[in-house]
Amino acid sequence: MKLGLGLYKHMLTKENLAFARQCGATHIVVHLVDYFNEGDNNSKDNQPTGGSEGWGVAGDSNELWSEEEFSAIKTMIEAAGLEWVAIENFDPAHWHDILLDGPKKQMQLENIKTLIQRIGRAGVPIMGYNFSIAGVGGRIMGPFARGGAVSVKVDGGDETPISNGMVWNMTYDSSAPEDVLPAISHETLWQRVDSFLNEILPTAEQAGVVLAAHPDDPPLPVLRGQPRLVYQPDMYQRLLNINPSPSNQLEFCIGTLAEMSEGNIYEVVDHYSQQNRVAYIHLRNVRGKVPHYHETFIDDGDVDMIKIIKILKQNHYEGVLIPDHTPQMSCEAPWHSGMAHALGYLKGLIATT
The residue ranges that bind Mn ion (CB under 5 A) are 253, 282, 324
CB closer to Mn ion out of 218 and 227: 218
To Mn ion, the closest distance from the beta carbon of 107 in angstroms equals 29
To Mn ion, the closest distance from the beta carbon of 318 in angstroms equals 20
Distance CA 230, CA 190 (A): 10
To Mn ion, the closest distance from the beta carbon of 283 in angstroms equals 9
Q: Give the CA distances from residue 218 to residues 60, 239, 260, in Å, rounded to whole numbers and listed in that order.
A: 28, 18, 8
- Find out whether 34 and 94 touch, Cβ atoms under 8 Å: no
CB closer to Mn ion out of 88 and 205: 88
CB closer to Mn ion out of 203 and 296: 296
CB closer to Mn ion out of 205 and 216: 216
Neighbouring CB atoms inside 10 A of 40's CB total: 5
To Mn ion, the closest distance from the beta carbon of 217 in angstroms equals 6
Q: Strand 292-296 vs strand 248-253: parallel, antiparallel, or unpaired? A: unpaired
CB closer to Mn ion out of 120 and 137: 137
CB closer to Mn ion out of 282 and 341: 282
To Mn ion, the closest distance from the beta carbon of 141 in angstroms equals 17
To Mn ion, the closest distance from the beta carbon of 206 in angstroms equals 28
Q: Strand 56-57 vs strand 170-171: parallel, antiparallel, or unpaired? A: parallel
Q: Give the CA distances from residue 309 to residues 305, 314, 349, in Å, rounded to whole numbers and listed in that order.
A: 6, 9, 7
- Find out whether 111 and 190 touch, Cβ atoms under 8 Å: no
Q: Give the CA distances from residue 22 to residues 6, 210, 300, 321, 336, in Å, rounded to whole numbers and listed in that order.
A: 14, 28, 24, 17, 12
- Provide the CA 122 distance to its chain's centre, in angstroms: 21
Which of these, 184, 142, 134, lies nearest to 160 by C-alpha position? 134
DSSP for residue 276? T
Longest dimension (CA), the chain: 57
Distance CA 191, CA 200 (A): 14
To Mn ion, the closest distance from the beta carbon of 128 in angstroms equals 9
CB closer to Mn ion out of 122 and 269: 269
